[in-house]
Structure formats: C-alpha cells, structure tokens
Structure 1
C-alpha cells in the first residue's frame, strides 16, 4: 500500500564544497564543518542525479540466458546550475586553480576603480577537484549526498542577457575516493530498513 509520507520533493537544497580529503558530517542533520563553503543560490531546477553502469554478461554453452552479469563500471553524476558569480564557481567552470587567479584591489584616487579578478583559461595543466556536499530538503526530510572527490565533466553555456542571471551549469562526476573510501555516501532521513 502506498505511503505518501515516504515521498520526497526537493523543495529546497544546498551545495557545499571543500578541499579533497575534508571530513564530512556524520549524519544528515549535522552542521557542515568549517572546511565546507556554501556554493550559493541554485536555480529552481534543483539537483539532477544520475547513475550509469557498464555491464559485462557472460554466456554458457547450452544456456539461453547469461549466467553472469557483472558491473564493470559505475559513473555517478550530479548536475546543478548556480546563480551567483564567485571565485569558486569561476575556478570550477574555467578549471583555473586559485593560485592562477589574481585579485586587483579597488582604488579610490585619482580615479575610482573597482576590484577585479583576472585569470586565463584554456590550460589543460589545471585540474580543479573538490569534495562536494549536497542537501535535498523537504518539510524536515533530508537526503544528504557526500562526494569525496568530484570533478566538473560538463558545463552548460553561460548566457549573458537581460532575461536571466548568468548561470553556471555544472555536472560533477564522482571520482575514486582517496584511500579506497566510498566515493559517494548517502544519508536519507525517515527511511526504515526492512527486517530480514
């Protein structure tokens, strides 16, 4: 029988980033540590999570169906579009390390000039990887996803026009975690484990 209380609708959410190797919270309602930075506003499209598998099937003589079905590779991706323009999002979108960015301070005299960030893009030598934390929230329920090591593997075009903000649409792919740990961890509140 259906139970409407088990339905999660992602009415809100947050994304956090930190350096690879940072310590994740130990529960879905624990506060994110000081290592993690809030990545800012996400568009109403929310989070799109995908899990793809490459499988190998082995046949046997005289059998009309595969006798072994092996998962060879699992790829997990997480897609979000961010509204704000910040140094972390610029770094991720353009794959430029902070060390290769320069901040020029504002000046007031003789002519006022605003502070600005400058960097080049197009160098394949820069690879920006992060630990990524995601919260999907609805009426007290929470699905927390923690990706130990993630890289940006797809980017949407940035549109500069008067109809919308200049958004950073990023798809993150979960990469192998340091030290053989789980690459992706999930915490989901109010879900009972069946008795075996």
Structure 2
C-alpha cells in the first residue's frame, strides 16, 4: 500500500483534527502505534506542523468520516490528481556518458547488421545518436569506420534489453517485409541498406 509523502506531519494533523483511532492513523501513515500515542501526548514531534492530507489530495473528507464511524475501517490513499490528468512524464533525451560515446558507432553497426528492420529514428531513440551518424556508419564514411567492430548495444550499456526487444517488436509489426531471411554478412562485407 502507498504511504503519504510526509507521514509524521500527516499523523500530527490527523491526531489534532480527526477522531480516528491511533491504530488507523498508524496503519495509514506507516508509523508505529506508540509513536502516534506520543504525538497525541505531545512527547514526539513537538513543534512539527501538521500537513493537511485533504488539502494535499491524499484523503477526502468522506474517507475520513467513513473511517471515524467504523473504527475497524482502514483509510485509503487517494490517487494524485496530477497522475490522473497529466499522464506519464515525457522522457528526457538520453544522456550517454563520455566514456561510452566512442562505442556508439559499434552499436549502430551491430543494429544495422542484426536488426535491419529498425528504422533510423528507432536507432536514434534507442542509442541517443543522430541520423547523420547512422548514415555515416552505414556508408562507411564515419571518421572511425576503420575501427568499427559491430558490438551489442546492451552489452555496451547503451540501452536496456527490454528497450531493444520492444523496438525490434515494433519494427517487425510496422514493416514485416524488412525481417531478415538471408544469413548475416561476413565481417568484411558491406552492410545491407534498407530504406
């Protein structure tokens, strides 16, 4: 069960402003019953200002009234309004540490060889690179093209296996004709180009 953001301040407010039992407050906030009794006696957290859980959107007045009428009832934390109206947060651009940036061309070459069904935009999103870099690796005009060895981006730490699997699955659904049926090219051979 989720807990309130500031459990002690919430407990102070509930003790001072409601008729809830110590057990109900302790169960809701995740604190021990003796600590709630100490708050009520003024021995624990003296001087702590209470946090109104109704104003913070954690509880409703009806939920508190329901729990006051039934001492065995448990309080339920309300879903945040921000979670329901705003939806998930937009992802930030992927940051790759300096020590791993030199491995990007190797990961791009691996993806071009093993997963040609991936679109350039998917590779950009997966590795945090640009379409220009992908094209340079594909055409072997990249400044590091002599030293590029195709290596798995998951093992290099540039993306997670779940992210790679998800991108490949989406690409196969979007473009089933691009799924490889012929064997992979040998080490020295050219990489295939799919548009």
Q: When the two structures are superposed, what TM-score results if normalisation uses the length of structure 1?
A: 0.21
Q: When the two structures are superposed, what TM-score results if normalisation uses the length of structure 2?
A: 0.21
Higher strand proportion: 1
Between structure 1 and structure 2, the one with the greater Rg is: 2
Whose relative contact order is higher, 1 or 2, with alpha carbons under 8 Å and at least 6 apart? Answer: 1
Higher helix proportion: 2
